[in-house]
């Protein structure tokens, strides 16, 4: 029994007709290598990911019954709210920052 090799047809030698010429194959390989190198170079020079930060509000006082009309233009004159006075604690990147917005609230 005669077995045929993969790709051989009866009485014809095996040929790959879908294969590009050797020069184009070399160029495609060089292009792939260049793209891989460029990708690695971009990754090497990419900025590092920022460190995770947490931000917390620390309430230290409450201003009771503050007129809303002093905060919001057009608000009803008689409406009052309690205002939370806070500082912000920011942690991340090996640092701890206490941020005070320094708001000044005056009654009357």
Q: What is the pLDDT of residues 96-105, one digit of tens each?
A: 999 998 766 5
Q: Are residues 40 and 61 in the same domain?
A: no
**Percentage of residues in the chain having pLDDT higher than 70:** 69
- pTM confidence score: 0.46
Q: How many domains is the chain partitioned into structurally? A: 2
81-106 core/surface letters (b: 16 or more CB in 10 A; e: else): eebeebeeeeeeeeeeeeeeeeeeee
Q: Are residues 65 and 88 in the same domain?
A: yes
Q: How many angstroms from the chain centroid is the CA of residue 48?
A: 11
63-76 pLDDT tens trace: 999 999 998 999 99
What is the pLDDT, as a whole number, of residue 39?
A: 82
Run of H or E residues at 82: strand 80-92
Question: Does 92 score more than 70 pLDDT?
Answer: yes
Q: Residue 37: which domain range?
A: 19-48
Pair 84, 62: CB distance under 8 Å: yes
Strand order in the sheet with 80-92: 53-67, 80-92, 95-99
Segment 40-62 mean pLDDT: 87
For residue 38, tell me if it sits in a domain. Answer: yes
Question: Does 10 score more than 70 pLDDT?
Answer: no
Q: Are residues 42 and 63 in the same domain?
A: no
Q: Are residues 89 and 73 in the same domain?
A: yes
Q: How many residues does the chain have?
A: 108
What is the pLDDT, as a whole number, of residue 9?
A: 58
């Amino acid at each position: 029994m005669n077995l045929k090799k993969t790709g051989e047809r009866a009485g014809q030698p095996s040929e790959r007709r879908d294969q590009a010429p050797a020069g184009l194959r070399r160029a495609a390989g060089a292009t792939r290598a260049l793209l891989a190198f460029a990708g690695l170079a971009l990754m090497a020079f990419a900025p590092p990911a920022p460190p995770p930060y947490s931000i917390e509000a620390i309430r230290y006082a409450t201003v009771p019954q503050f007129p809303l009309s002093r905060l919001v233009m057009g608000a009803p004159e008689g409406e009052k709210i309690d205002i939370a006075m806070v500082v912000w604690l920011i942690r991340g990147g090996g640092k701890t920052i206490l941020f005070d917005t320094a708001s000044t609230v005056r009654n009357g």
